[in-house]
Structure 1
Amino acid sequence: MLTDEHSGGWEPRTWLGAPAPGGLALPQASPSMAWMYSPRGVFIDDSHVVVADSGNHRVLIWHGVPESDEQPADVVLGQPDGTSEGRAAGGRGPERGMNLPTGVAVVGGRLIVADAWHHRILVWDEVPQRNDVAPDVVLGQPDSSAVQPNAGRECSASTLYWPFGFAMLGPRFWVADTGNRRVLGWSGGIPEPGEPADIVLGQPGEHARGENRGEAVGPASFRWPHAVTGADELLLVADAGDHRVLGWSPHPGGDAPADSVLGQQDFSSADEWPYGPHSGDRFRFPYAVGLDQGRLAVADTANNRVLLWDELPSEPLGGRPADHVLAQPDFSSNGENRWALVGRDTLCWPYGLSLHGDRLAIADSGNNRVMVWERRR
């Protein structure tokens, strides 16, 4: 078990998904409402837990925060029932189906899902209370049956290619348009279908999609932007492929260089830890980032850990080391499940996280589960 010296009082509380008899957390041959297969996204608030059960091409919803291990979900979306799996609802079609959903959140009472490999964002005007409900809004495609990258045409400010993450920050809606190596922003909030973004961040124009702008890594480029978080006047993007988190304050109104970088010593570096210093200020494929009440969490995915800062680092370059590390015995360790058996406080490739007050939900993808951690006051 972890000690307070490194975990800062954070403890794993609830295990959602496959148990691990004998040390491996394996998915069932057939899905259930209680088990998962490679979940890559999670959202938690006081009223819901929502999981992108990515390997089963579905979203699971718990109404209320689960209190017991392996508690079954209340609702499944993307499949006709809790025992079906497969892309596009097992072949029924994309109208109610999904293909590797990732980002999930409840925003202003609306459920939003990044249906990444269908190259679209799905919106339900209310959080569904029953299974197999079709979305009310489809963004990034001309209709609910279309699933082509960039809607089958040239990349533009209204098309998407592997959108993995999103966030609503103040009045702006941001999408990590990962396959186009950019972040799109809508200043008027969640857009209407077909509405182009008014902010294209990370590329010189709406039709460009080159990795790091086709140049060396810099303060205005992305290799693999995967998750977005922040506040009314702060935008943070987990640029997983460049092993860093970029920050803009205030929000950029167009393509602009970042003001800060976390995980690298400067804007021109993209070093992959552990080949650099073994510490709490370097990353290896950080796929998720969360900010709540001034506290910052980063899923340092390939290092099998979550890093926590009690306050957002103020340094523009490099940032100070994290205050706490979860799932590893110290800041210099990075083994999958600490090179041991699966435990309540171990991780294997955490792809997603959601920070809400003293609760932290982690999509522990390699262990086919979601772990809800809590901080002792």
Structure 2
Amino acid sequence: MSKVPVNFTPVSHPHQDVVCEEKNLGHRAKFFATARDNNTDFCYPFGLAVDRNDNIYIADAGNGRIQVYHQSGYYLRTIGESGRDKGELFCPRDVAVTELGKVLVADSGNHRIQVFDSSGEFVQIIGRQGISAALLGNQGSGQGVFHTPCGVALSTDEDYIIVADRGNHRVQVFTADGQFSHMFGSQGKRPGEMCEPWGVAVTPDDHIVLADNRNNRLQVFTLDGDFVRTIEGEGDFLLNGPSGVAVSNDGSYIACSDTGNNRVVVFTLMGLYVDSYTGSIGLPRGVTIDSMSRVIVADTANSHIQCLYWKA
């Protein structure tokens, strides 16, 4: 299989005071890892997103909150706090941001999606109350009910919210105001089936790219849920437990956090292998791509964020 000659290279960064101590960086740069106070500590960061200004939103799962950073690495604010009430989060695993700055959180441990406005104030909960379970919040398998949702994304026109409903082995789709629209997928290994889906992303033509974690593959669907293709990698670059997935702004490539192999892998939209980053990284989960073509990845085991510059 041919490999397109492109590489991950270091991010040039003028504000060295916000970059953590660098050790054996090679061609990577670590950002946001040095804790100056409790607001900037991380504990198992998972999903990532960027807004229209390239501010970076981090689902700080172990701390039960969303951390927001300026693209250059400065801490900006925190959204939510650990808990089970409205506006509180328990093990959030993904985040998405609308064009106007509304923030959607996969509040995984509470089995719901929460919506916050651009200033971080609670707006609403998406997902009807399911079966009450002590210590597990409200979970269920019915229409519009979640069991450990781990991925959230928006359609191109932001008319739909797409959720990877991990514990129910399916994808659920809601309208922008949080009303259930449709769902697809069931547990299994065949094309169109899934097992513990994690991250989800949307291409410019509204194809859904899903990290089918336990089946060691990505799957591509139409917005209606029709199966399009499977992306598994090949040879030394077979996927192993992929968690996060992101699509470049122009739709030309997909970045995937290949968690079981401790690396980031890049494919074309058709599934051809392009490149990979296998530097010092532990159990990467979330991944996003900003307007500067930086591939930003949650280095979850090391509780920090890495920014990789994608250079053709």
Q: Determine the structure 2 residue equivalent to 1:116.
A: 108
Instruction: Summarize the Cα distance change of 1:350–1:6 in structure 2 as closer, same or farther, 3 Å threshold.
Output: farther
Instruction: Summarize the Cα distance change of 1:304–1:169 in structure 2 as closer, same or farther, 3 Å threshold.
Output: same
**Aligned-partner Cα distance in 1 for 2:137–2:153:** 20
User: Is there any run of 5+ residues in structure 1 with no aligned partner, and where?
Assistant: 80-86, 204-210, 265-276, 314-318, 329-344
Q: Determine the structure 2 residue equivalent to 1:169.
A: 155
Q: Tell me the CA shift for residue 235 of structure 1.
A: 1.5
User: Is there any run of 5+ residues in structure 2 with no aligned partner, and where?
Assistant: 26-30
Q: Determine the structure 1 residue equivalent to 2:38.
A: 32
**Aligned-partner Cα distance in 1 for 2:35–2:154:** 36
Q: Tell me the CA shift for residue 58 of structure 1.
A: 1.3
Once the two structures are superposed, the pairs formed by residues 355-366 of structure 1 within 5 Å of their partners are 355-357=289-291, 358-366=293-301
Q: Determine the structure 1 residue equivalent to 2:127.
A: 140
**Aligned-partner Cα distance in 2 for 1:168–1:244:** 21
Once the two structures are superposed, the pairs formed by residues 67-82 of structure 1 within 5 Å of their partners are 67=73, 71=74, 73-79=75-81
Instruction: Summarize the Cα distance change of 1:142–1:240 in structure 2 as closer, same or farther, 3 Å threshold.
Output: closer
Give the AA of the match of 2:262: N
Q: Tell me the CA shift for residue 141 of structure 1.
A: 4.2
Instruction: Summarize the Cα distance change of 1:224–1:285 in structure 2 as closer, same or farther, 3 Å threshold.
Output: same
Give the AA of the match of 1:102: R
The counterpart of 1:350, out of the listed 266, 275, 284, is 284
Q: Determine the structure 1 residue equivalent to 2:269.
A: 312
Instruction: Summarize the Cα distance change of 1:185–1:150 in structure 2 as closer, same or farther, 3 Å threshold.
Output: farther
Q: Determine the structure 1 residue equivalent to 2:243.
A: 287
The count of aligned residue pairs is 291
Q: Tell me the CA shift for residue 101 of structure 1.
A: 0.6
Q: Determine the structure 2 residue equivalent to 1:221.
A: 193
Whether 1:158 aligns to 2:132 is: no
Q: Deviations over 1:356-376 (max 9, x none)?
A: 241111111011101122234
Q: Tell me the CA shift for residue 102 of structure 1.
A: 1.1
Q: Deviations over 1:161-211 (max 9, x none)?
A: 11110111233321001111100113xx3233xx3x3321113xxxxxxx3
Whether 1:243 aligns to 2:216 is: yes
The counterpart of 2:302, out of the listed 339, 363, 367, is 367
Secondary structure, counterpart of 1:101 in structure 2: coil
**Aligned-partner Cα distance in 2 for 1:99–1:366:** 19
The counterpart of 2:173, out of the listed 185, 201, 205, is 185
Secondary structure, counterpart of 2:286 in structure 1: strand
Give the AA of the match of 1:346: S
Larger radius of gyration: 1
Secondary structure, counterpart of 1:95 in structure 2: coil
Q: Tell me the CA shift for residue 13 of structure 1.
A: 5.2
Whether 1:262 aligns to 2:231 is: yes
Q: Determine the structure 1 residue equivalent to 2:9.
A: 10
**Aligned-partner Cα distance in 2 for 1:99–1:28:** 24
Identical-residue share of aligned pairs (%): 21
Q: Tell me the CA shift for residue 12 of structure 1.
A: 4.4
Secondary structure, counterpart of 2:285 in structure 1: strand
Secondary structure, counterpart of 2:236 in structure 1: coil
Secondary structure, counterpart of 1:241 in structure 2: helix
**Aligned-partner Cα distance in 2 for 1:147–1:13:** 48
Q: Tell me the CA shift for residue 108 of structure 1.
A: 2.4
C-alpha RMSD of matched pairs (Å): 3.2
**Aligned-partner Cα distance in 2 for 1:172–1:238:** 19
**Aligned-partner Cα distance in 2 for 1:18–1:157:** 45
Instruction: Summarize the Cα distance change of 1:150–1:60 in structure 2 as closer, same or farther, 3 Å threshold.
Output: closer
User: TM-score, normalised on structure 1?
Assistant: 0.68
**Aligned-partner Cα distance in 1 for 2:167–2:194:** 10
Q: Tell me the CA shift for residue 147 of structure 1.
A: 9.1
Secondary structure, counterpart of 2:93 in structure 1: strand
* Structure with greater proportional strand content: 2
Secondary structure, counterpart of 1:40 in structure 2: strand
**Aligned-partner Cα distance in 1 for 2:260–2:145:** 30
Q: Determine the structure 2 residue equivalent to 1:316.
A: none
Give the AA of the match of 1:178: R
Q: Deviations over 1:88-125 (max 9, x none)?
A: 1xxxx523321111111211221111110011111113
Question: Is the 8 Å Cα contact of residues 192 and 219 (structure 2) preserved in structure 1?
Answer: no
Secondary structure, counterpart of 1:198 in structure 2: strand
Q: Tell me the CA shift for residue 150 of structure 1.
A: 8.4
Instruction: Summarize the Cα distance change of 1:18–1:94 in structure 2 as closer, same or farther, 3 Å threshold.
Output: farther
Q: Tell me the CA shift for residue 347 of structure 1.
A: 1.0
Give the AA of the match of 1:190: A
The counterpart of 1:53, out of the listed 44, 60, 65, is 60
Q: Determine the structure 2 residue equivalent to 1:342.
A: none
Give the AA of the match of 1:200: M
Question: Is the 8 Å Cα contact of residues 17 and 36 (structure 1) preserved in structure 2?
Answer: no
Q: Deviations over 1:18-46 (max 9, x none)?
A: 757899x9x99996222211101111243
Instruction: Summarize the Cα distance change of 1:99–1:368 in structure 2 as closer, same or farther, 3 Å threshold.
Output: same
Instruction: Summarize the Cα distance change of 1:372–1:120 in structure 2 as closer, same or farther, 3 Å threshold.
Output: same
Q: Tell me the CA shift for residue 126 of structure 1.
A: 1.9
**Aligned-partner Cα distance in 1 for 2:197–2:5:** 28
Secondary structure, counterpart of 1:112 in structure 2: strand
Question: Is the 8 Å Cα contact of residues 87 and 114 (structure 2) preserved in structure 1?
Answer: no
